[in-house]
Chain A
Amino acid sequence: MPNSDFEIIQRILAGETRAYAELVDRHKDRAMTLAMRILKNREDAEEALQDAFVRAFKALDRFEMKASFATWFYRIVFNVCSSALGKRGRAYGIPLDEDNLEAALNTPPAGNPEIEFDSSAFQRLVHEEIERTAPAYGAILTLFFIQELGYEEIVEVTGLPLGTVKNRLFRARMMLREAVLKRMRESISESGSVKQEIAQ
């Protein structure tokens, strides 16, 4: 049976520094995904993640054992990535261009193009669109769907008020929906025109 995070932390605090490698291996992929969603660049994300792991190690004696290590650590990752984004001159915030959101809110729930939602094409399309999502929305979507955190935990990680977290998640979902639908419509019309060309 694998050791829990708490057991590993207790070993580290008792002086077994090498046990930290187990914690790193356990959390690096999910944390890297969060870093990638915010920084949109592999090298920057890896550097920020390294920094976050070192910071977490230094602060490990202040970690309260009642909390989840993952949530506590994601907060460090989130802060490091936000600072890195700031240094690159891109503030972590809401983009001004929210055309997708406006379109999504104005689109009635009907009229979705016919497409296989389970297809790998759909999966790829969602992946491409989430990669393009603004950091503020990408981070919230990742924390909710990949890290599977609840609203309260996202509040803890991001330091945002509960209302803002709920609102941002709602907007992120709507914008992703609209972006995916737009791409689906485009691909359907492209394939339609190809069929027409072949028929002619």
Chain B
Amino acid sequence: MIHLTSSHIFQLLDGALDPSEKKRLGNHLETCGECRQELALQRALARSLRQQALASPSPQFTTTVMRHLLFYERQSALLHFMMKHGIMLALIVGLSILGYALLTTPGWEMTKDKIQTLQPEKRITQFYVTANRELVQQVHNAGGKIIDLASEENAWLFVVTAAIIVMLALFDRLVVRQFMGIRT
């Protein structure tokens, strides 16, 4: 007599057989004690596996996990702030340092009074021209040479470049991160 294969028995137990196949195997089981015994064993094993007691972690487990999470949240709040304002902060700090360095140069000091008499919209271009001249002078003093580019046109170029940097920073924050799925 050809017995049922283990695969047949598992399919029967898992309810994975179509009705005609199930009936065919059922007919065999009616006449075969050995296959009935095997089916009973596999059924008992499956039942026993399902009834196995679950392993529980220690009683303070949930509290420990929540403590970890609160620590993570505090950490991530700082990270979150940096992600949100980091680029802007870096720009502000960078430009401040640059501004401070230029404002404290001797050339600037000499012409500061003169610049303050200018119209407000002219001040920034004059500031650039003065800084540029000072740079040329410093390089010259150090034995190098640089072409003097100081002009009002270049000053506007400086202003436009700074504006583009700020716009890129805003674009990064508002658009790119949305697409990247980074929550800000």
Contacts and interface: CB of A to CB of B under 8 A. Distances in A.
A142 to B, nearest CB: 8
A139 to B, nearest CB: 13
Contacts of A49: 57, 61
A30 interface: yes
Interface in B1-54: 3-4, 6-7, 9-10, 34-35, 37-38, 40-46, 48-54
Contact of B61 (A46, A112, A127, A177): A46
Contacts of B68: 50, 54
A173 B62 contact: no
Contact of A177 (B42, B65, B72): B42
A49 B54 CA distance: 14
A15 B27 CA distance: 60
B71 to A, nearest CB: 10
Contacts of B41: 112, 117, 177, 181
A20 B66 contact: yes
B49 A17 contact: no
A20 to B, nearest CB: 6
Contacts of B38: 109-110, 112
Contacts of A176: 45, 49
A33 interface: yes
Interface residues of A, number: 49
Contact of A21 (B3, B50, B57, B66): B66
A181 to B, nearest CB: 8
Contacts of B183: 61
Contacts, number: 119
A109 B48 CA distance: 19
Contacts of B43: 117
B72 A126 contact: no
Nearest to B3: A109
A145 B14 CA distance: 11
B45 A126 contact: yes
A117 B61 CA distance: 35
Contacts of A118: 44
Contact of A109 (B35, B44, B53): B35
B70 to A, nearest CB: 7
Contacts of B54: 29-30, 32-33, 146
Nearest to B9: A109
Given A29-B54, A126-B52, A17 B61 contact: no
A32 B57 contact: yes
Interface in A27-86: 28-30, 32-33, 35-36, 42, 45-46, 49-50, 53-54, 57-58, 61-62
Nearest to B35: A109
A170 B56 contact: no
Interface of B: 3-4, 6-7, 9-10, 34-35, 37-38, 40-46, 48-58, 61-62, 64-66, 68-70, 72-73, 181, 183
Interface of A: 17-18, 20-21, 24-25, 28-30, 32-33, 35-36, 42, 45-46, 49-50, 53-54, 57-58, 61-62, 104-105, 108-112, 117-118, 122-123, 126-127, 130, 141, 145-146, 148, 170, 173-174, 176-177, 180-181
The 5 closest A-B pairs by CB, nearest first: A117-B44, A109-B38, A110-B34, A145-B49, A29-B54
